[in-house]
């Protein structure tokens, strides 16, 4: 199903052409194929019976197969048409409509979703989340579905913000509809629902109790095996990741990281059981860390997730999300290249990840250290390729002359990023010289760098400032691989020593030997 790293706005908007238009013209909303009737009745029965395994199979497999077979270019039958096959169950029909609108956003973008349809999807999410928040849902749903629900909620919010900001070619009818549905997908509404799910589920308290052994949340993957429901609890858990994503889209990185704080991403957790959740969490965490100059945190997490994808991507080749997994993988390599260019930390990079990074961006990273016009162009290119699709929180003014505002937030974030890069222009030279010395006088270093001593002191203070940041606990942390202090015009350099993890080294060698043994076993001797 839809995953948080499905950048569907990148899909071709004209796909299908005449065949898509013909299919849309032939669409009969009252017609329900027999296979869909069977699907709906079986899915309803499995949800009612709390059969998570069968529900997951139908959700992850059956829905895609039927979509490809019957609804490649048309919507699914409306909820009213399938209601007789699920006893008209209100909650099930809310879930069905959620799938209906998700399919429409994924498959029918080229035909143009109307503001009314987008507003209807918003209303359905409001109704569905309200039912969950009232505590009247007593069912177990697969974590994949619950993650996709939160992910799609944030995606449709992002998509609507981009849509309403493109005013230049809209008809007067579309403008009037935007005015009519001006309350749909408001930033306050989206944030309020996500925060309400987090608070009502009490997921923060659950994770705290788990630390002292009073909960088994991670051991059970969030499922309830004592007759309860996992829906509110898991929606609250995934909403913390959704809040991180929304705040990244808005450019509020500090608040985004604060929302994710209850989840310990340094450990395996429930967020890692769904590949989309895992990648979205680390991607947005790493990007927010980059923008807040917490380079070491970003490098460490990018390295871990890229190593995981490198080892496990072959197991997802048959997944409908595989292409997007590969795209997000490439984006995170670009972000890692930026982090390492601004803050060299080669000791934190796994050998295999380092090899891949060198193949992809080795030449560009060399040029990025020069901080000339070509270097800035590369920073611009990598940032533009790898950054989220930023949005503006406030709706545009709906009066003539109509212009497009959808790129304003991106341009602002790019400007701030490149300004930060420009501020660090001389830091690469400082780093190169100081790594050669354990002590050096201010005058000597100023002569090497062809600046006066006053300017050099300013550069050294800039280095201290740029290589330090504030973590989630409010503590000042260093991102530099060495430190220095000045005593009587003499610079004393103290290189930080990274604690070697010998266990990782032995594990890598064991895996290499096992691979060699497997290859030797395949050799045929005459």
Extents of the domains making up the chain: 114-417, 437-495, 497-525
Preceding peptide of 401 cis, ω within 30°: yes
Q: How would you class 263 by CB atoms within 10 Å of its CB: exposed for 0-12, middle for 13-18, buried for 19 or more?
A: buried
Instruction: Name every residue whose Cβ is closer than 8 Å to that of residue 58 and which is 6 or more positions away in sequence.
Output: 39, 42, 43, 46
- Which pLDDT does position 10 carry in this prediction? 46
**Predicted local distance difference test score (pLDDT) of residue 516:** 83
CA dihedral sign, ordered 276, 281, 284, 286 = negative
C-beta pairs of 477-483 under 8 Å, 24+ apart in sequence: 477/294, 477/296, 479/293, 479/294, 479/295, 479/296, 479/343, 479/345, 480/343, 481/343, 481/344, 481/345, 481/347, 482/434, 482/435
For 172, the token pair is: 């007067």
Lookup result for tokens 């212009």: 403
Look at residue 468 and give its three-state secondary structure: strand
DSSP 492: E
Q: What is the mean pLDDT of the chain?
A: 86
Q: pLDDT, tens digit, for every residue of 46-70?
A: 999 999 999 999 998 899 899 989 8
Say what the pLDDT of residue 440 is: 86
Mean pLDDT over residues 420-446, rounded?
81
Whether residue 14 has pLDDT greater than 70: no
Distance CA 448, CA 439 (A): 14
Other CB atoms within 10 A of residue 403 CB: 11
What tokens appear for 424 in the block?
């660090």
Contact by Cβ (8 Å): 409, 392: yes
pLDDT-based confidence at residue 502 (cuts at 50, 70, 90): low
List beta partners, residue 490. Answer: 441, 487
Per-residue pLDDT reduced to its tens digit, 336-388: 999 999 888 888 898 899 999 999 999 999 888 877 888 889 999 999 999 99
Q: Where are the alpha helices (DSSP H) in 26-142?
A: 34-48, 52-57, 63-70, 79-82, 90-107, 115-133
Residue 79 to residues 22, 74, 98, 138: CA-CA distances in angstroms?
A: 23, 15, 10, 21
pLDDT tens-place string over residues 443-482: 888 888 888 888 888 888 888 877 777 776 677 777 676 7
Both structure tokens of 90: 């209100």
> When comparing pLDDT for 438 and 4, which is higher?
438
**pTM for the full predicted model:** 0.85
Rounded CA Rg of the chain: 26
Question: What confidence category does residue 158 fall into, taking pLDDT thresholds of 50, 70 and 90?
Answer: very high
Q: How confident is the model at residue 251 (pLDDT cuts 50, 70, 90)?
A: very high
């Amino acid at each position: 199903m839809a995953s948080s790293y499905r950048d569907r706005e990148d899909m071709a908007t004209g796909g299908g052409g005449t065949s898509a238009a013909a299919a849309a013209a032939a669409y009969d909303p009252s017609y329900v194929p027999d296979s869909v009737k069977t699907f709906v009745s079986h899915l309803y029965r499995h949800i009612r019976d709390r059969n998570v395994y069968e529900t997951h199979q139908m959700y992850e497999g059956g829905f895609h197969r039927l979509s490809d077979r019957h609804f490649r270019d048309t919507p699914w039958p409306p909820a009213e048409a399938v209601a007789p096959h699920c006893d008209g169950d209100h909650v099930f029909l809310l879930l069905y409509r959620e799938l209906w609108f998700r399919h429409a956003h994924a498959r029918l973008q080229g035909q143009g979703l109307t503001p009314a349809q987008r507003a209807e999807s918003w209303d359905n999410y409001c109704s569905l989340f309200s039912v969950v928040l009232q505590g009247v849902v007593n069912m177990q749903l697969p974590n994949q579905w619950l993650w996709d629900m939160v992910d799609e909620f944030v995606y449709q919010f992002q998509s609507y913000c981009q849509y309403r900001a493109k005013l230049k070619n809209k008809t007067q009818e579309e403008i009037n509809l935007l005015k009519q549905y001006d309350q749909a997908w408001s930033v306050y509404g989206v944030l309020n629902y996500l925060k309400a799910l987090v608070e009502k589920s009490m997921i923060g308290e659950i994770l705290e109790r788990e630390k002292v052994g009073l909960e088994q949340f991670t051991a059970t993957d969030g499922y309830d095996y004592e007759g309860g429901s996992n829906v509110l609890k898991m929606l609250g858990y995934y909403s913390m990741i959704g809040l991180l994503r929304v705040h990244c889209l808005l450019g509020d990185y500090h608040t985004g990281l604060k929302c994710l704080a209850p989840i310990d991403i340094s450990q395996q957790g429930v967020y890692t059981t769904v590949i989309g959740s895992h990648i979205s969490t680390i991607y947005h965490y790493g990007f927010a860390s980059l923008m807040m100059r917490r380079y070491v945190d970003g490098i460490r997490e990018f390295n871990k997730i890229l190593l995981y994808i490198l080892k496990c991507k072959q197991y997802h080749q048959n997944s409908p999300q595989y292409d997007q997994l590969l795209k997000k993988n490439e984006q995170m390599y670009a972000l890692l290249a930026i982090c390492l260019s601004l803050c060299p930390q080669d000791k934190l990079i796994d050998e295999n990840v380092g090899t891949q990074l060198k193949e992809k961006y080795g030449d560009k990273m060399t040029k990025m250290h020069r901080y000339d016009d070509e270097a800035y162009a590369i920073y611009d290119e990598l940032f533009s390729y790898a950054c989220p699709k930023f949005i503006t929180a406030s709706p545009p003014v709906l009066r003539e002359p109509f212009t497009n505002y959808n790129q304003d937030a991106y341009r602002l974030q790019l400007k701030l990023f490149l300004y930060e890069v420009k501020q660090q222009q001389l830091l690469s030279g400082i780093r190169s010289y100081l790594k050669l010395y354990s002590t050096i006088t201010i005058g000597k270093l100023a002569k090497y760098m062809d600046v006066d001593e006053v300017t050099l002191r300013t550069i050294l203070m800039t280095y201290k400032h740029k290589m330090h940041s504030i973590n989630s606990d409010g503590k000042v942390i260093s991102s530099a691989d060495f430190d220095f202090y000045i005593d009587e015009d003499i610079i004393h350099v103290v290189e930080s020593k990274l604690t070697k993890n010998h266990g990782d080294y032995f594990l890598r060698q064991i895996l290499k030997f096992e691979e060699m043994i497997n290859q030797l076993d395949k050799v045929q001797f005459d």
